[in-house]
Structure 1
Amino acid sequence: MDLSNSVAIVTGSGQGLGLAYARELARCGASVVVNDVDEQTADSAVASITAEGGKACAVVGAVGSTETAQRLVDGAVDAFGRLDILVTNAGILRDKVVWKMTDEDFDQVLDVHMRGTFTCVRAAATRMREQGEGGRIICVGSPAGQRGNFGQTNYSGAKAGIVGMVRTWAMELARASITVNAVVPVAATAMTETVPFLKPYVDAMHNDEPLPGFARRELGFGPPEDAAGIVAFLAGEEASGVTGQAVGVGGDRLALWSHPEMTATAYHDGGWSPDAIATEWPHTFAERLELVGEQLPEEASTS
């Protein structure tokens, strides 16, 4: 993958998945703007990229505001002359069940994930359209946004909203040759280390032990680096015809998420009364109800 002469912004790229994305883009030749809320973390990430022969600079700040989004775009242009790729990865967690979630818990997560994605994409799309040479926008979703997750009203809602915005932006920016896609990663990060089901696999990686095939294939789980290749692919020329998609990645698994579709349909002349629905429901809809949450497979083997 050759991304030479391309310039990328990766939000929340001081560590974890964001750093993996930034390093992979740099390895493919892109100049990268690293972003983190902590200056030391951002500088360390830049150093790790330049030590490998890549080009990078840092813009410190919390995403969410229009001002931070514009500083990121201006930082890319000032340092490297242009902007070709945006990866919106920055995120936080404030997990609580709905009856315990405060307004602040909700607003903080929505501000970083959803508003931060919106403001950064708006600023980047404006710059890319002005350049007139197309571009690549890659927004980071989550399985929680696709299926929901206990205790994550704010996070699930934001991630679902991001994928909805991606589909809209793919339509709006098509004439400008700007593709917009969502990546739905699963990886060992600070956000997943507390998930009880994944703890044995996280512990194994911390101990430099190989992950079993079940984790890497059935769960699609591995280190952040496993999820970075799809970002570089979507940023490249080979993906010029890919837009409006949600692509799952992690471990040894690469997957395409479907868009929501009507799965069962019935018709009733004159519209549907409650009694008519009650009569029809058991025959047409009852067996087609969707599951909620991740349906994790049982581990059949550790090999």
Structure 2
Amino acid sequence: MELDGKVAIVTGSGRGLGLAYAQELARQGAAVVVNDVDADAAAAAVASIESAGGRAVAVVAPVGPTETARQLVQTAVDTYGGLDILVTNAGVLRDTVLWKMSDDDFDTVIGIHLRGTFTCVREAATYMRENGVAGRIICIGSPTGQRGNFGQTNYAAAKSGIVGMVRTWALELKRANIAVNAVIPVAATAMTATVPYFAAAVEAEAKGEPMPAFFRHDLGFGTSDDVAGLIAYLASDAAAGVSGQAIGVGGDRLQLWSHPEPVHTAYHDGGWTFQSLAAEFPAFIEGNQQSVGEKFPPLPDDLQR
């Protein structure tokens, strides 16, 4: 097996995408530290891995505090003798428009997604560097962090921040041979289950039927298991030369997201004053203004609900 002898931590792995990641890493041979705030979900996740012949142990604790990050790494070392792989997946949603978003709505999402990623990666990277481990760190982003989304100020800030940290960590950890990447998943989750546009896909998955090709191919929208293969690949020795990347996956589609680059440049001798901008900016921006948010094609008639 590709990950035989490796040890992995997957945060937020009691259910959903995180559970699929943990199960696939175990299927490929890794021993897995499962993490969730729900003790029953964590126990069920461990049981599902063990019943399939894998090895797993649970840490029931909220991601965010440094103490949790230390507990996760120490559990991996004490139980399985080391740590090779970290997948930071834990997160919550507190969706609402800007003018209705409370401080707690913002702080909760930032604390779990962004701070939780930072504290867990810091602890794991410290262990890997001190012990000469050529580790793999995989941080979970979102299309919202790449494009923005209505009602998700907090989530967009956290997920775009995660990708920014990944690029920085890829630079800082290169000499230690630790690869750091972001994965941008597109899959049926509790959040997408409430969106009418995805109803036909969600209904198909609930019935155990294949999702319509429109969703899998055209939208790159699939199941949690469709994402898990990329997680395991990036955790393997085969992906040793891949670092600092944001890679999208979902359904039948694989994407490489570009790093932000200037799309248009202009110069004005002496610098840009209000007057020079007023005269030249309309021509500068025309045809170059960038879009925001996801743009979905119309649903085919047979998939309308």
Q: TM-score range by the shorter chain?
A: over 0.9
1:153-172, CA deviations, whole angstroms, 9 ceiling, x for partnerless residues? 00011000000000000000
Q: Deviations over 1:5-45 (max 9, x none)?
A: 10000000000000000000001000000000011110100
RMSD: 1.2
Q: Secondary structure at the residue paired with 1:290?
A: coil
Shift of 1:223: 1.1
Given that 1:21 and 1:228 are in contact with CA atoms closer than 8 Å, whether structure 2 keeps it comes out as yes
2:92 and 2:109 in contact (8 A); partners too: yes
TM-superposed deviation, 1:109: 0.3
Aligned to 2:46: 46
Kindly provide the amino acid, as one letter, of the partner of residue 232 in structure 2.
Answer: A
Going from structure 1 to structure 2, the CA distance change for 1:226 and 1:264 (only over 3 Å counts) comes to same
Deviation at 1:298, TM superposition (A): 2.2
The answer to whether the 8 Å contact 1:214/1:302 transfers is: no
> 1:208 deviation in Å?
2.3
Equivalent residue number for residue 156 of structure 2:
156
Match of 2:168?
Answer: 168
- Determine the structure 1 residue equivalent to 2:37: 37
Contact 2:22 2:32 in 1 (8 A): yes
2:7–2:85 Cα contact (<8 Å) kept: yes
Give distance in 1, aligned partners of 2:172 and 2:273.
38
Q: How much does 1:300 deviate?
A: 4.5
Q: Does 1:110 align with 2:107?
A: no
Residue 139 of structure 2 is aligned to residue 139 of structure 1 = yes
* CA deviation string 1:135-154 (max 9, x = no partner): 00000000000000000000
Match of 1:258 in 2: 258
Residues 1:127 and 2:127 are matched in the alignment: yes
Q: Structure 1 residue 280: deviation in Å?
A: 1.9
Q: How many matched pairs?
A: 303
1:302: Cα distance to partner? 5.7
Percent identity among equivalent residues? 64
Matched, 1:213 2:213: yes
Which amino acid is the alignment partner of residue 4 of structure 1?
D
Normalising by structure 1, report the TM-score.
0.98
- Tell me if structure 2 keeps the 8 A contact 1:2–1:29: yes
Tell me if structure 1 keeps the 8 A contact 2:91–2:109. yes
Normalised TM-score (structure 2):
0.97
8 Å CA contact 1:34, 1:56 repeated in 2: yes
Which residue does the alignment assign to 1:225?
225
Match of 1:58 in 2: 58
> Deviation of residue 200 (structure 1)?
2.4
Hey, what's the Cα distance between the residues in 1 that align with 2:76 and 2:119? Answer: 16
TM-superposed CA distance for 1:211, in Å, is: 1.2
Structure 1 residue aligned with 2:290 = 290
CA distance in 2, matches of 1:298, 1:274: 42
Deviations 1:111-155 (A, max 9, x none): 000000000000000000111021000000000000000000000
Kept in 1: contact 2:42–2:60 (CA 8 A): yes
In 2, distance between residues paired with 1:302 and 1:223? 21
8 Å contact 2:197–2:299 — kept in the other structure? no
**1:280 corresponds to 2:280:** yes
Change (3 A) 1:208 1:238: same
Superposed CA deviations along residues 211-231 of structure 1, whole A, max 9, x for unmatched, are 111100111111100000110
Shift of 1:193: 1.4
Please report how far the alpha carbon of residue 209 of structure 1 lies from its aligned counterpart in structure 2 after TM superposition.
2.7
Q: Secondary structure at the match of 2:14?
A: coil
Distance 1:208 1:120 in 2: 35
Q: Residue 26 of structure 1 contacts residue 49 of structure 1 at CA under 8 Å; is this kept in 2?
A: yes
Residues 184 and 302 (structure 1), Cα distance of their counterparts in 2 relative to 1, 3 Å cut = farther
Aligned residue type for 2:163: V
Q: Secondary structure at the match of 2:202?
A: helix
> What's 2:202 paired with?
202
d(CA) in 2 for partners of 1:111 and 1:191? 20
Structure 2, unaligned stretches of length 5 or more? none
Structure 2: distance between partners of 1:289 and 1:220: 26
Separation in structure 1 between the aligned mates of residue 279 and residue 213 of structure 2, nearest angstrom: 47
Look up the equivalent residue of 2:28 and give its one-letter code: C
Task: State the distance in 1 between where 2:258 and 2:300 align.
Answer: 27
Q: Could you tell me how far 1:283 is from its partner in structure 2?
A: 2.2
3-state SS in 2 of match to 1:228: helix
